[in-house]
Amino acid sequence: MARKSPQRPDADKPEAGASEVETVETGVETDVNADVAADTDAADTDADLAAAEDVPDSDPDPDDEEPDEPADVDRSLWTDTRIDPVEIALPGSVGYTLRAYRQSAALAPTDVEGREEDDDPFAVAEPDVDDDEVVILDEEFAALAAEDSEETDTASDADGKDTADKADDDETEKEEAGEHEEEDEAAGEEVPFFLSHRGRVLIFKSAESLVSFVRSGAPHDLTELDTWDDLASRVQPADVAAADADSYELDLVVENLRGGYDTWDLDLLIRAGEIARDLGYALRLPAVMAALSPGSPLDDLDEALRAAAGGGIGGFMGRRRLRRIGAQQASLGWRTIIGKISAAVDWRD
């Protein structure tokens, strides 16, 4: 006969011949169930305690270590001095330098006297134009100019009085605008300055060598900064850690561009444009500045990259623009830029 489960309601009366066995087994199972329940309650209690211990405090300790930044990096040093460590990777090597943004009149530009200037490789050649087309365009322009002249004469006669009345007001506005322009020129705009000397940026292959140079008192273009002495007295090798936004991989740009627009690393290329513009300006590299100037092919590429990275409708339109940009032309242009920058680097061990 099959044994009845002790959990069924009709198991109160044991059947003949099996009562003793069932009584014993029921008591055993009851004790086991009680022990399991007790163990379960204890486990739940331990889990709740462990979970409570894992919950962070509502007011975390400010001395707690940040997960993405070493605890010994003193970011207040760079904040106080308004100078930042920059990591630049170029073909063949990678290292650290320093960069500061100041008003253009705050520091003298780096001295490039004696440096040979190459011809601008990005100069646009004069297009070939048919002489007959030039004659036709000249005739059309002359006709339009004559029409504009007649309309101008008529308008001048009708508005002569109003023009005379506004002359004084215009003169006053020009004087005020001139005063504002003089103030803006005196203040200057914020521009980049690097740890450079005689038109060459100093890049150090280790944090220790950079700190040793900073403390040595050797000549360079940042000595005129009002916060330089403070930096030189406080900086330690452990402090030389570039933030993600200040790390640039110029050595990967050309190879990435050769892969085609669908494989381009938008962030890599955008940041490459930023550091190239800064170095071109600070080191007075005309070819680099011309290649990335507004309206140039590489500047159009930069705008399309930023639009694509922005997402949304603008990102869609930006990606469409990227498809029309030749990968070969872009890679050749960037190879020349990186070559110009590499030639203006003074590597220090």
Q: Are residues 229 and 269 in the same domain?
A: yes
- The per-residue pLDDT for 311 is 86
Domain boundary among 54, 74, 91: 54
* Domain-located, residue 211: yes
- 221: Cβ contacts below 8 Å, ≥ 6 apart: 107, 108, 110, 193, 194, 195, 196, 197
Q: Which helix (H) or strand (E) holds 266?
A: helix 266-282
Domain count, the chain: 2
Q: Which helix (H) or strand (E) holds 136?
A: helix 131-187
Residues 87 and 343: their CA atoms lie apart, in Å, by 17
Same-domain status, 236 and 327? yes
Together in a domain, 49 and 87? no
Looking at the structure, tell me whether residues 219 and 293 fall in a common domain.
yes
Range of the domain at 41: 9-54
Kindly report the pTM of this predicted structure.
Answer: 0.62
CB 344 within 8 A of CB 286: no
Decide which of 54, 69, 91 is a domain's last residue.
54
Whether 107 and 207 share a structural domain: yes
Residue 181, domain member (yes or no): no
CA distances from 334 to 68, 91, 201, 343 (A): 32, 13, 19, 14
Q: Are residues 104 and 19 in the same domain?
A: no
Task: Answer yes or no: do 13 and 95 share one domain.
Answer: no
The answer to whether position 319 is within a domain reads yes
Are 42 and 103 found together in one domain? no
Residue 113 within any structural domain of the chain: yes
Residue 235 burial by CB count (10 A; 0-12/13-18/19+): exposed, middle or buried? buried
From first to last of its 349 residues, the chain has per-residue pLDDT tens of: 444 444 444 444 444 444 444 444 444 444 444 444 444 444 444 444 343 344 344 444 444 444 445 555 657 999 999 999 999 999 999 999 999 999 988 899 999 887 766 544 444 444 444 444 444 444 554 555 555 555 545 555 555 555 555 555 556 555 555 554 554 444 568 999 999 999 999 999 999 999 999 999 999 999 999 999 999 999 999 999 999 999 999 999 999 999 888 899 999 999 999 999 999 999 999 999 999 999 999 999 999 999 999 888 888 888 888 888 888 889 999 999 999 999 999 999 8
The answer to whether residue 30 is domain-embedded is yes
**Cβ–Cβ < 8 Å for 100, 116:** no
